Amino acid sequence: MSHPIQLHPSADFIARTRAATADKDLRKGFRGAMDFLQAKRAAQFPDPVELETLRDLGAAIRRHSLACLPDLLEQLEGRLTANGIQVHWAETPDEANAIVLDIVRRRQAKSVIKGKSMVSEEVAMNHVLEAAGLEVLESDMGEYIVQLAGEAPSHIIMPAIHKSKQQIAALFAAKLPGVAYTEDVDELIRIGRDVLRRKFAAADIGLSGVNFAVAETGTLFLVENEGNGRMCTTVPKVHVAITGIEKVVAKLEHVAVLNTLLPRSATGQAVETYQNFISGPRKPDELDGPEEVHLILLDNGRTQAYADREFRATLQCIRCGACMNHCPVYARIGGHAYGTTYPGPIGAIISPHLLGIGATHALATASTLCGACAEVCPVRIPIPQLLIRLRNEAQADSAHASALRGAGESHSVLGSLIFRAWALLYAHPAFYRMATWLMSRLRVLAPARQGAWTQMRTPLIPARRRLRDLLREPRRDAARDSTVA
Amino acid sequence: MEHDTAGARRYPAKPADVYLFATCLIDQFAPEAGMDTVRLLEREGIRVHFPADQTCCGQPAYTSGYPDEARAVAARQLELFPEPWPVVVPSGSCAAMMRHHYPKLFAADKVHLAKSEELAERIFEFTEFLVHVVHFDRPDHGAASTVALHTSCHARREMGSHASSEALLAGLSRVKLVRQEHAEECCGFGGTFSVRHPAISEAMVTDKVQSLVAAGAECVVSADSGCLFNILGRADHMDRAAGRDSPSLPCEHIANFLWRRTAETLNGESA
Ligand code: SF4
């Protein structure tokens, strides 16, 4: 089944969560994977003092980067250009794709090989390139699997985490000529690698993401575990990197701190297998490397988040995925149910800026605000607080709606009436006393069906006497003369 | 939601008087939890004052996107505690709302902000208060029993009071505390979340019930009524669906549990 990214992820969100929670295999798979990743992360941070200190540092670095974002971007552009890397600015996904297509045409490219890049997913680059007649091949094993299956990634770090070994085996056997069904994981990886390695040599363009762009040196930092990232960025004649404007940091030493947090938070690894520092195209005396290197810096709604004092924290994200690995909602519904490029808690807070608050409000409400995400976020993004703010923005009436894209679109007359009545009752103690007194007297009339609550729970019935009634009654056990006043 | 946890907080000496903010859920649906909170505090020689004008902390509106309505209700609660006494709240979630979120709610309103900041310092979750202020230490008169503790997410992550609930149970000599799998995970209540996203909520609470049953708990204890209603409501529903007559997972507010086990009445029966 294909899970295309939705333009209006809220529209069928409830239906998708119903389907996902009813899928026992999916729930078992995600639970197992999340438990595994949580345990691996925990093992990487045995010392809570070190962890919290690192998180303080990580947050401070990211806040600092954002505080001087315009200056850093300017500096970055200058250094990259000096290093021979061509910098392109894209405000929208269309602009980003147009830039790539332009490079493709100029180079008369026929094929693109891709390393993992969530920003390229965000702009649906594969579709655009394929529509233009190019062969596009994902070279990250997880991405390759979802590409073969015609799906979208279900996790930002582990795109094919929703797939079982058996499903991958069946997929390979069905889609790859001459490949027999095998559940041997090593063999599956070997098969995938074989296909991919052959393609590297022939690809005209290598495309990758960026983990951090360093302003002071003009360096693109890219981590990965499979070596495919290094191949994508060095083997083809052209390397195109794409990233969001928020990924810039001021200094190289900032990367050192952030990268002690990133792999440990993400996959529970002490360090990634490959760390690539990309500082320009091949120089005349060098034997290998691309002839051209490009960086596309994408906005796509990020400046909206940036402009807001509170929402700016969203851009601190280093895309480690720890929030989704620890999210009890994500563990139940998986990544596809969100209908967005970025699922889980980070998806719920970033997607409203990419797609509009109205289109994504269901994601913000699909949280108990339990805080498990904020507890692990390596850069201390106050995710639950941002979700509360998004809820405010989504349902604001026209008089209160802010300038944020899609604010107030989810305003519900019924919802606001309910809460107005609620406030009338709870802000007026006399009304409250009368209403709760009535409820306690009429408790036998408490409905057996209480909407969604009783679809799977027994009804909630008011007590015969309220606490305030009990406290007024004479008590044998009264040790002190406590008061109701 | 990075907040100081209970361990980092400075605690006052045991006072002669406290306010009780009992929460709307306890007032209307679980008054005995409120009564046992009062009994436990009174037995320690503390006078408990229940401001009759209290209603709700305002959290339902605050988390549902209705900050104006939340402010209207919260502003009324700010008026309830004129004396400088501690305010004891038998719910980690409501305590967190009053301690950590009132100042955010009133960030743009100087008068209420000052009041809410002053109040925040006096807000104590009930088990936190028993452990750190009262230094609760009473002999266990109950029968040997195996229980599991469920801590609400706000109690755990905003008040740090999971540790005090645990300490109180550990202090009961005949109570064996078992740990359910994924103990720190949310039960799936989340206020309006439970009715807005019923499928996800059901998946979460069903898993929670199953892990508690699997842990071998005879009873589930929690300092938060919201979680208890969610877990108990689901367990009851599952019992009925399976045709079981007796509840497979009795739940109790920690105030009820503590009072029941430490009350000095015949045979250790509950008072
Ligand atoms: S929000 Fe925090 S935890 Fe989630 S992906 Fe971003 S950095 Fe990681």
Which of helix, strand or coil describes residue A267? coil
Number of domains within chain B:
2
* Average pLDDT of span B211-218: 95
Q: Is A348 in the pocket of ligand 1 (CB under 6 A)?
A: no
From A66, A346, A387, mutation site for ligand 1 pocket: most ligand atoms within 8 A of C-beta: A346
Can you state the percent helix, strand and coil of chain A, rounding each to 5? 55, 10, 35
Residue B51 forms part of a structural domain: yes
C-alpha span between A406 and A419 (Å, rounded): 22
User: Do B144 and B244 reside in the same domain of the chain?
Assistant: yes
**Model pLDDT, residue A444:** 77
Whether residue B21 is predicted with pLDDT greater than 90 in this model: the reply is yes
Q: Could you tell me the two tokens for A123?
A: 């702009």
Locate the ligand 1 atom nearest the alpha carbon of residue A320 and give its number: 8
Residue B1 forms part of a structural domain: no
CA distance B218 to chain A (A): 20
User: Do B76 and B104 reside in the same domain of the chain?
Assistant: yes
Single-letter code of the amino acid located at A108: Q
Q: Is A346 in the pocket of ligand 1 (CB under 6 A)?
A: yes
**Model pLDDT, residue A160:** 95
Q: Give which of A307, A326, A320 is closest to A384, Cα–Cα.
A: A326
**Model pLDDT, residue A4:** 53
C-alpha span between A385 and B154 (Å, rounded): 13
**Model pLDDT, residue A84:** 98
Tell me the Ramachandran region of residue A304: left when phi exceeds 0, alpha when psi lies from -120 to 50, beta otherwise.
alpha
Domain covering A10-304 in this structure, CATH number: 3.40.50.10420
Percent pLDDT > 90 in chain B is 92
CA distance B109 to chain A (A): 17
C-alpha span between A281 and A293 (Å, rounded): 6
In B, minimum Cα distance to A421 occurs at B69
Which of helix, strand or coil describes residue A139? coil
C-alpha span between B239 and B245 (Å, rounded): 7
Continuous segment of H or E residues that includes residue B176: strand B175-178
In B, minimum Cα distance to A382 occurs at B1
The CATH number linked to B182 is 3.40.50.11810
Residue environment code for A271-290, b if the CB has 16+ CB neighbours within 10 A, otherwise e: ebeebbebbbbbeeeeeebb
User: Do B90 and B147 reside in the same domain of the chain?
Assistant: no
Strands A219-224 and A212-214: antiparallel
User: Do B122 and B52 reside in the same domain of the chain?
Assistant: yes
Q: ∠ CA A458-A463-A467 to the nearest 5 degrees?
A: 140
Residue B3 forms part of a structural domain: no
Residue B183 forms part of a structural domain: yes
Tokens 């296909």 belong to A195
Residues in Cβ contact with A130 at an 8 Å cutoff, skipping those fewer than 6 apart? A136
Q: Is A379 in the pocket of ligand 1 (CB under 6 A)?
A: yes
> ipTM of the assembly?
0.94
Residue B108 forms part of a structural domain: yes
Residue B7 forms part of a structural domain: no
Nearest by CB to residue B65, choosing from A391, A460, A471, is A391
Q: Which stretches of chain A drop beneath a pLDDT of 70?
A: 1-7, 476-481, 485
The answer to whether B200 contacts A395, with C-beta atoms less than 8 Å apart, is no
**Model pLDDT, residue A480:** 61
Whether residue B72 is predicted with pLDDT greater than 50 in this model: the reply is yes
**Model pLDDT, residue B267:** 45
Whether residue B3 is predicted with pLDDT greater than 70 in this model: the reply is no
C-alpha span between B40 and B159 (Å, rounded): 21
Locate the ligand 1 atom nearest the alpha carbon of residue A345 and give its number: 4
Which of helix, strand or coil describes residue A296? strand
> Bridge-partner residues for B49, per DSSP?
A483, B19
User: Do B210 and B255 reside in the same domain of the chain?
Assistant: yes
Residue B10 forms part of a structural domain: no
User: Do B105 and B197 reside in the same domain of the chain?
Assistant: no
CB A213 within 8 A of CB A72: no
In B, minimum Cα distance to A471 occurs at B35
Of B133, B152, B181, the position where a domain reaches its end is B133
Task: Count chain A–chain B contacts defined by CB atoms under 8 A.
Answer: 227
Q: E strands, A28-165, where? A: 85-90, 111-114, 135-138
Q: Could you tell me the two tokens for A403?
A: 């300038």
Locate the ligand 1 atom nearest the alpha carbon of residue A373 and give its number: 3
Residue B108 DSSP label: T
The answer to whether A369 contacts B190, with C-beta atoms less than 8 Å apart, is yes
Tokens 């095998």 belong to A182
**pLDDT confidence bin for B2, thresholds 50/70/90:** very low
In B, minimum Cα distance to A388 occurs at B63
What pTM was computed for the model?
0.95
The answer to whether A419 contacts B233, with C-beta atoms less than 8 Å apart, is no
C-alpha span between A162 and A145 (Å, rounded): 11
Which of helix, strand or coil describes residue B131? helix
**Model pLDDT, residue A477:** 64
Strands A292-298 and A85-90: parallel
Of B133, B165, B183, the position where a domain reaches its end is B133
Q: Outline where A93-234 has alpha helix (H).
A: 93-107, 118-122, 125-131, 141-149, 165-175, 185-202, 228-234
User: Do B32 and B125 reside in the same domain of the chain?
Assistant: yes
Single-letter code of the amino acid located at A277: F
| Partners of residue A21 in chain B, C-beta under 8 Å | 199-200, 202-203
User: Do B155 and B57 reside in the same domain of the chain?
Assistant: no
C-alpha span between A91 and A301 (Å, rounded): 8
Residue B129 forms part of a structural domain: yes
pLDDT in tens, B118-133: 999 999 999 999 999 9
pLDDT in tens, A60-118: 999 999 999 999 999 999 999 999 999 999 999 999 999 999 999 999 999 999 999 99
**Model pLDDT, residue B112:** 97
C-alpha span between B159 and B149 (Å, rounded): 16
Q: Could you tell me the two tokens for B38?
A: 């009062």
Of B79, B113, B133, the position where a domain reaches its end is B133
C-alpha span between A228 and A222 (Å, rounded): 11
User: Do B223 and B253 reside in the same domain of the chain?
Assistant: yes
Which long-range contacts (C-beta less than 8 Å, at least 24 apart) are formed by B3-6? B3/B96, B3/B100, B3/B157, B3/B158, B3/B159, B3/B160, B4/B160, B5/B159, B5/B160, B5/B163, B6/B125, B6/B128, B6/B132, B6/B159, B6/B160, B6/B161, B6/B163, B6/B164
Domains of chain A by residue range: 10-304, 414-484
C-alpha span between B150 and B251 (Å, rounded): 10
Sheet containing strand A238-244, edge to edge, reads A85-90, A292-298, A238-244, A205-208, A111-114, A135-138
C-alpha span between A11 and A18 (Å, rounded): 13
Residue span of the structural domain in which B114 resides: 17-133
